[in-house]
Amino acid sequence: MHRAGYALFAVVVLAGIAGPVSAAPDGWVLGIEELYRLDRLPMFKDSVKVASVSSYDRSGGNDDGFSGKYSFVRKEADGLVLADLKGPGIVYRLWTPTPTDDVFGFYFDGEEAPRIEVKFREIFMGKQAPFVSPLVGFGAGGFYCYVPLPYQKSLKVLAKAQKIQFYQINYATYPDGAPVKSFDPKPSPEYLAHQEKACKLFGSSGLDISPLGSPAGAFPADHAVSAVLKPGASATLFETDRGGRIVGLRIGPMSQLGGKARDVLLKVTWNGTSGPAILCPVGDFFGSAWGRPAMTGLMLGTRNDEGYCYFPMPFEKSAKVELVSERRDGGAIGVTGHVVVAAVPRAADEGRFYALWRRENPTTKGEPFTFIDTPGRGHLVGCLIQAQGEQPGGTLFFEGDDQTWLDGELTIHGTGSEDFFNGGWYDVPGRWDQRRSFPLSGCLDYLKHLGRTGAYRFMLTDAYAYRKSLRQCIEHGGDKNSEQGDYAGLTLLYSENAPAGCGTVPEAGRRVVVDPKRITFAAGWNIPVKGFSFDGATLTKKGEKVGGHDVRFTSLQAAKEHDWFGPPFLCLTVDLPAAGRYAVSVEVVKGPAQAKVQLFGNEAPVGEPVDMYAASRVRSEVIPLGVMDLVEGNNDLMLKLVGKNSSSTGLGIDLVSIVCERKD
């Protein structure tokens, strides 16, 4: 955003969201006001415990809601009690991938009648108060709610149902006497004003929200960035020897600073310490996935080739923001952007902002991936993950649960990897199947053929506060961390002191994105079909038991040997991670009604025809078809049915998979 645009938006934001609010403790409204008061995000939390209730499998298995066995804390005559919490406290987050039309009752402070009674599904639709959009929403297979539900004495959540599946309820408990007032079904004008400001903020993903990170009465200054970054050198983007806080950071061009090599680092240092608070591949910090920009969230992301961050970063004495290039060659990069700074130094009750980048390649069998494991005091405000399995063609590693130990106690246990990031049902079309960004969470990508998926989640009201220690992990695989892979995680937090592992990254060669050379596309699932025969042919997806095993495939059956423009054909689109020369092969179900198949490129044959006939149905081995030069990204592979065996009774292909193996 240009300087004039930034100034105009700042005025709009300050008038429409920040407003004339006071930072005094007696004016602070726990709950609803926390949703938009980004200036208070660095402050240590007053809660005494942060925890969750969820449907995770208590036996250690993967039944985290499928059967409903663990989806309640007890049964009552009217239904299932999902949570029974003692106050004072606040429920900050509700999530499910399986909403129903069953009625939920929220019983406050031991009352016999619920103050809120609503269908489970309607909590997330945004049409019924107090559950208003965009504080509630859905996408990527998950349904989430960030409307705070405060309770002075207690809160019971009752589902009037025989069965509920997956759910998570995140909450914080406060000390006796804390200014927590139980939810009022008749909202005051003050509550509605706070709600309106929160809704405006949640609708601002990708926009400049830096004014909200400034304390009341401070007017942030915009420092333009202009620097040249040469290979093997550093460039200082901003430096000051006075206390303050960075409330906005925008730099670009990300198309040149990022990439698969992860060889340009963002380095941020507070107060002249020897170890940086942030040392991270710059693309990954702004939400890239395997070298490509992938995130447009509220607090972090990339837009118009510019990375942005709006987490407030207070410091006492000094600050320095740098880019460090570890590239050995290539041209210099002209870096531009803005650093927005408020002249309000870090207070004693605030943490400093830290970002830790960790990679495990491979992950350790039997042990979860660890985002962070540190002593100290602070609160976790974000996690990003790029996860890649050992074998392309599947993502079973994402069956693992998130686990959080706060002050040595396991207080949060999730129900599945995409669930932690407000999603659900990976590899299902229309759900967790592609890149999707929401204000506080999203899917960085889902690429089954590469065995890859990634995600992000920011925590504002639901930050994980700790006083002695923090350990944040996520499993890989649904049972005993049995699925190994390549995991790269970014952890964002406010901490009183530098957390363990801060300021270090692996050497450049160990950060590089590793693209699989052999890629399997499952034709029986959701590989895109570019087109098939124009006349006299049918295309279906089928499942069949062949040789005692279940096999899924895409089946093309042609009625005649010539279509309008030649032989019958099936054209599929394959997405490749890198350009190169590839050997293209297929797996099929051979049988008595199959054709001869030949690979074509630009209407020229590639390789010889292969006869798919067999006297009985049998799954084939991998059959080579030819070698082609293919590009990074989408490629259309044309399979033509160029005739048939004299014994064949039909003209078809039952395609199980396409395999592309890079040869250079």
pLDDT along the chain (664 residues), means of 10: 38 44 52 96 97 96 96 96 97 98 98 97 96 98 98 98 97 95 94 96 97 92 97 97 97 97 98 94 98 97 98 98 96 97 97 98 96 98 97 92 98 97 95 96 96 97 98 94 96 98 95 95 87 93 93 94 91 95 97 97 95 97 97 96 96 96 92
Structural domain 47-177, CATH architecture: Sandwich (2.60)
Looking at residue 5, what is its pLDDT? 39
C-alpha distances (whole Å) from 467 to each of 32, 613, 637 are 24, 68, 57
**157: buried, middle or exposed (CB in 10 Å: 19+, 13-18, 0-12)?**
buried
201 φ/ψ angles, rounded to the nearest 5 degrees = -65, -50
- CA gap 245, 347 in Å, rounded: 10
Give the 3-state DSSP-derived string for 357-370, with helices as H, strands as E and coil as C: EEEECCCCCCCCEE
- CA gap 14, 213 in Å, rounded: 11
Long-range contacts of residues 505-511, Cβ cutoff 8 Å, at least 24 apart: 505/265, 505/279, 505/280, 505/281, 505/357, 506/359, 508/261, 508/262, 508/263, 508/326, 510/359, 510/361, 511/261, 511/262, 511/263, 511/281, 511/359
What torsion, rounded to 10 degrees, do the Cα atoms 508, 510, 511, 516 define? 130
Is 47-177 the same fold as 1-24+207-348? Answer: yes
The candidate with the shortest Cα–Cα distance to 97, out of 476, 421, 463, is 421
- CA gap 78, 156 in Å, rounded: 13
Here the tokens at position 451 are 């065995």
- In a 3-state reduction of DSSP, which class is residue 138? strand
Looking at residue 22, what is its pLDDT? 29
- Residue range 1-24+207-348 forms a domain whose CATH class is mainly beta
Domain limits, the chain: 1-24+207-348, 47-177, 351-514, 519-662
C-alpha distances (whole Å) from 248 to each of 39, 185, 301, 444 are 12, 37, 12, 22
Looking at residue 27, what is its pLDDT? 66
CATH topology of domain 519-662: Jelly Rolls (2.60.120)
Strand bridging mode 436-437 / 441-447? antiparallel
Strand bridging mode 131-132 / 103-108? unpaired
Looking at residue 100, what is its pLDDT? 98
**Helices (DSSP H) in 385-528: which residue ranges?**
417-420
Structural domain 351-514, CATH architecture: Sandwich (2.60)
